[in-house]
Amino acid sequence: MNTESYSKSYKDAGVDVTAGYQSVELMKEHIRRTNIPGVMSAIGGFGGLFRPDMTGIHKPVLVSGTDGVGTKLKIAFMMGKNDTVGIDCVAMCANDVACSGAKPLFFLDYIACGKNYPEKIAEIVSGVAEGCVQAGCALIGGETAEMPGFYPVDEYDLAGFCVGIADEDKLVDPQKLKAGDVLIGVASSGVHSNGFSLVRKVFNLNSDEKLKIYLNDCGKTLGEELITPTKIYVKPLLKLMESVDVHGISHITGGGFYENIPRMLSDTLRAHIDRSRVPVKPIFNIIASEGISEHDMFNTFNMGVGLCIAVAPEQADEAVRILNGAGEDAFVMGEVHNGEKGIDIC
């Protein structure tokens, strides 16, 4: 750790550079967990180095994704639990990359805080590292910015980005989508990391006491339910694409069904979802009971479905079998019809 770089004037202004060095030391043990073949640099340099293995890749294409955790962080602040939101951050980026058919290679995070508490920063990074392990990618760099006066001293923001690689010939090609294709849903772990502004309004979350309310239908407290990390689907998706010709994948994030499923459709195709086949999780029924319309629920939340995957009808059973064998809860929930681009839920 750098013991010579110290500025009393800067510390008096609210920025403790030595705390930053301590944070880096504390997070190194977590980052080491994510090392995979290709990592060429240690944390602390000006850039993260990664040498991709091009074996079997004839026309390499880099695929990138970036996102943050959003106002779910408010739940983490209230609960004093900072070791899982990093999983959400990785999931929001790595899942998107995998939806193109790419394998995530590496991840970088950005943490901005009002005050750098090294132990807290290390907790946050431990979650990022766990997410990277689940996604099979390396955490090769990041940035922690102490910004007094911009963020409250006990709050922070967390964002990141992921880079993956694929062979151009093996990218998921939505042009293959056609009427008659089957839509397969893959269960979510809960609310994931979207819609939390509405969640906080519905439950009027102005104190941590409300997060301690026990939800019988969920079998846990409200706080425990809401802080549940976003499911990372990378490894099951890559396994599926080894055997099944996937025509399209939608990651159900902000905007729910209505925004995300049409993103994989052409202008002449329409998704039809069988409402009775959507395994709505109890937390969404609880939210809806506070006066939120069904349309707004499906337009905001994942409703228990984290991914929607389109395959040819003759491969639907095999796709469900592979996903279930990989530990996911997969099910047929609709099909693609001719029509104006959009979605029907009925």
| Tokens 């102005």 found at | 206
Residue 28 in this model has a pLDDT that exceeds 60: yes
The confidence score (pLDDT) of residue 8 equals: 72
Say if CB 7 and CB 146 are below 8 A apart: no
Q: Average pLDDT of the chain?
A: 94
Taking the C-alpha atoms of residue 261 and residue 271, their distance in angstroms, rounded to an integer, is 7
Strand locations in the chain, DSSP E? 60-68, 103-113, 138-146, 156-167, 182-187, 214-215, 220-221, 246-251, 269-273, 305-311, 330-338, 342-345
Taking the C-alpha atoms of residue 301 and residue 314, their distance in angstroms, rounded to an integer, is 30
| pLDDT, tens only, 256-285 | 999 999 999 999 999 999 999 999 999 999
Taking the C-alpha atoms of residue 169 and residue 167, their distance in angstroms, rounded to an integer, is 5
Pick from 46-60, 77-91, 307-321: least confident:
46-60
Query: Other C-beta atoms within 10 Å of 29: how many?
Result: 12
The confidence score (pLDDT) of residue 45 equals: 77
Higher pLDDT: 170 or 46? It is 170
The confidence score (pLDDT) of residue 12 equals: 61
Residues above pLDDT 90, as percent of the chain: 88
Q: Give the predicted TM-score (pTM) of the model.
A: 0.94
